[in-house]
Structure 1
Amino acid sequence: MLITDDFLPVPVPESLSATYLVPMTGLPRMSPRTAVQALAGRLAEPVFGLAKQMLDSPLMTVDTRPIAEFPALPPDLLTAFGATEEQLTRLAEATHLVVVQAEYRPGWPPAHEWAARAVAAAVAETVDGDVVDVFALQFLDPATALRSLPDAEGRIRLVDWVLVPYSSDAEGLWFTTKGLRRFGLLELQAQGVPDHLTRAWGAVMTGAARRLLRTWTDGLAGEEVPAFVQLPVLATVTGHDIAVAYGNPEQHGATAPVLLALELDPATDPEADSFLSLRPPPGHPGPAGRYFATACATLFTGIQPDVRYARTGDAMSEAITTARAGLGDVRARFLAGALPAESQLVVKYGLPGDEGPEYVWAAVTSWEAPERISGASASDANTDPTVRIGSPVVVEATDVVDWAVLDGTGVIEGGWTQAVLDAGERPNPSH
Structure 2
Amino acid sequence: MLITDDFLPVPVPESLSATYLVPMTGLPKVSAKTAVQRLSGRLAEPVHGLARQMLDSPLMSVDTRSIDEFPALPPDLLTAFGATEAQLARLAAASHLVVVQAEYRPGWPPAHEWAARAVAAAVAESVDGDVVDVFGLQFLDPASALRSLPDAQGRIRLVDWVLVPYSSDAEGLWFTTKGLRRFGLLELQTQGVPDHLTRAWGAVMTGAARRLLRDWTDGLAGEEVPAFVQLPVLATVTGHDIAVAYGNPEQHGATAPVLLRLELDPATDPDADSFLSLRPPAGHPGPDGRYYAAACATLFAGIQPDVRYARPGDAMSKAIATARAGLGDIRARFLAGQLPPETQLVVKYGLPGDDGPEFVWAGVTSWDAPERIEAASASDADSDPTVRIGSPVVVEAADVVDWAVLDGTGVIEGGWTQAVLDAGERPGPPV
The TM-score, its normalising length taken from structure 1, stands at 0.77
Match of 2:423 in 1: none
In the alignment, does 2:239 pair up with 1:219?
no
State the one-letter code of the partner of 2:389.
G
Name the counterpart of 2:253: 253
Cα distance, 1:249 vs structure 2? 0.8
Give the corresponding residue for 2:375.
none
Q: CA deviation at 1:416?
A: 1.3
SS at match of 2:353: helix
In structure 2, how many angstroms separate the alpha carbons of the residues matched to 1:75 and 1:292?
34
CA distance in structure 2 between the aligned counterparts of 1:425 and 1:165, rounded to whole angstroms? 32
CA distance in 2, matches of 1:157, 1:417: 27
Are 1:146 and 2:166 counterparts? Answer: no
Alignment partner of 1:333 out of 353, 356, 360 = 353
Match of residue 121 from structure 1: 121
- 2:248 equivalent to 1:262: no
Query: Alpha carbons of 1:329 and 1:263: their partners in 2 closer, same or farther (altered >3 Å)?
Result: closer
- 2:44 touches 2:152 (CA, 8 Å); kept in 1? yes
Query: Any idea what the Cα deviations from partners look like across 1:284-316, whole Å, max 9, x if unmatched?
Result: 111111110111111013427xxxxxx9xx987
Could you tell me which of 364, 382, 404 is aligned with 1:418?
404
Secondary structure of 1:106's counterpart equals coil
1:301-357 Cα shifts (integer Å, max 9, x gaps):
3427xxxxxx9xx9875228999xxx9964x42648x979xx899xxxxxxxxxxxx
* One-letter amino acid of the counterpart of residue 35, structure 1: A
Supply the AA of the counterpart residue of 1:211: R
Whether the 8 Å contact between 1:100 and 1:119 is mirrored in structure 2 is: yes
1:83 is matched with which residue? 83
1:201/1:329 CA distance change after superposition, 3 Å: closer
Q: Give the root-mean-square deviation of aligned CA atoms.
A: 3.3
Contact persistence 1:199–1:344 (CA under 8 A): no
Matches within 5 A, 1:193-212: 193-212=193-212
The DSSP-based 3-state class of the residue aligned with 2:82 is coil
Partner residue in 2 for 1:161: 161
Alpha-carbon distance between aligned partners in 2 of 1:252 and 1:176, rounded to the nearest angstrom: 25
Deviation string 1:92-149 (CA, Å, 9 cap, x unpaired) is 0000000000000000000000000000000000000000000000000000000000
The question of whether the paired residues in 2 share the 8 Å contact of 1:164 and 1:206 is answered with yes
Percent identity between matched residues is 78
Question: 1:14 is matched with which residue?
Answer: 14
Is the contact made by 2:64 and 2:98 (CA closer than 8 Å) also made in structure 1?
yes
Letter matched to residue 206 of structure 1: T
Question: How far apart, CA to CA, are the structure 2 residues paired with 1:425 and 1:208?
Answer: 28
Counterpart Cα distance in 2 of 1:93 and 1:410: 34
Whether the 8 Å CA contact 2:324–2:401 is kept in 1: the answer is no
**Equivalences, count:** 361
Q: Secondary structure at the match of 1:249?
A: coil
Matches for 1:296-335 after TM superposition, within 5 Å: 296-303=296-303, 317-319=321-323, 330=351, 332-333=352-353, 335=355
After superposition, the Cα gap between the structure-2 partners of 1:257 and 1:269, relative to the gap in structure 1 and judged at 3 Å, is same
Structure 1 residues 322, 424: closer, same or farther in 2, change over 3 A?
closer
Indicate how the Cα distance of structure 1 residues 344 and 134 shifts in structure 2: closer, same or farther if over 3 A, else same.
Answer: farther
Unaligned 5+ residue runs, structure 1? 305-310, 346-362, 368-404
CA–CA separation in structure 2 for the residues paired with 1:190 and 1:198:
12
Kindly report which structure 2 residues correspond to 1:23-422, keeping only aligned pairs within 5 A, or say none: 23-303=23-303, 317-319=321-323, 330=351, 332-333=352-353, 335=355, 407-409=388-390, 416=402, 418-419=404-405, 422=412
Q: Is this contact kept in 2: 1:300–1:409, CA < 8 A? A: no
d(CA) in 2 for partners of 1:74, 1:428: 58
Q: Give the Cα separation in 2 of the matches to 1:128 and 1:35.
A: 12
Contact 1:301 1:410 survives alignment (8 Å): no
- Look up the match of 1:387: none
CA distance in 1, matches of 2:182, 2:253: 29
2:331 aligned residue: none
Paired with 2:415 and 2:134, the residues of 1 have a C-alpha distance of: 53
Per the alignment, residue 373 of structure 1 pairs with none
Aligned in 2, Cα 1:55/1:45: closer, same or farther, shift over 3 Å? same
Q: Tell me, what secondary structure is at the counterpart of 2:404?
A: helix
Secondary structure at 2:271 match in 1: coil
Please give the alpha-carbon distance, in whole angstroms, between the structure 2 residues aligned to 1:364 and 1:107: 32
Query: Aligned residue for 1:396?
Result: none
Query: Do 1:344 and 1:406's aligned partners in 2 also have CA atoms closer than 8 Å?
Result: no
The 1:410–1:67 alpha-carbon spacing in structure 2 relative to 1, beyond 3 Å, is: closer
In structure 2, the residue matched to 1:354 is none
CA distance in 2, matches of 1:364, 1:6: 35
* CA displacement at 1:418 relative to structure 2: 3.1
How many angstroms does 1:423 deviate by?
4.0
Q: Deviations over 1:223-262 (max 9, x none)?
A: 0000000000000000000000000011232100000000
Return closer, same or farther for 1:425/1:219 CA change in 2, 3 Å cut-off: closer
What is the rounded CA distance, in whole Å, between the counterparts of 1:47 and 1:366 in structure 2? 36
Q: SS state of the match for residue 231, structure 1? A: strand
Amino acid in the other structure paired with 1:168: S
Cα 1:322–1:132 change in 2 (3 A) is farther
Give 2:323's aligned amino acid: A
Residues 44 and 320 from structure 1, CA distance in 2 versus in 1: closer, same or farther, beyond 3 angstroms?
A: closer
**Do the aligned partners of 1:51 and 1:119 also contact (CA within 8 Å) in 2?**
yes
Is the contact between residue 260 and residue 278 of structure 2 (CA under 8 Å) also seen in structure 1?
yes
The CA deviation at 1:15 is: 0.1
**TM-score normalised by the chain length of structure 2:** 0.77
Q: CA separation in 2, counterparts of 1:141 and 1:410?
A: 19
* Matching residue of 1:393: none
Give, in angstroms, the shift of residue 364 of structure 1. 12
Residues in 2 aligned to 1:335 and 1:70: alpha-carbon distance in whole angstroms: 47
Contact 1:21–1:134 (CA<8 Å) still a contact in 2? yes
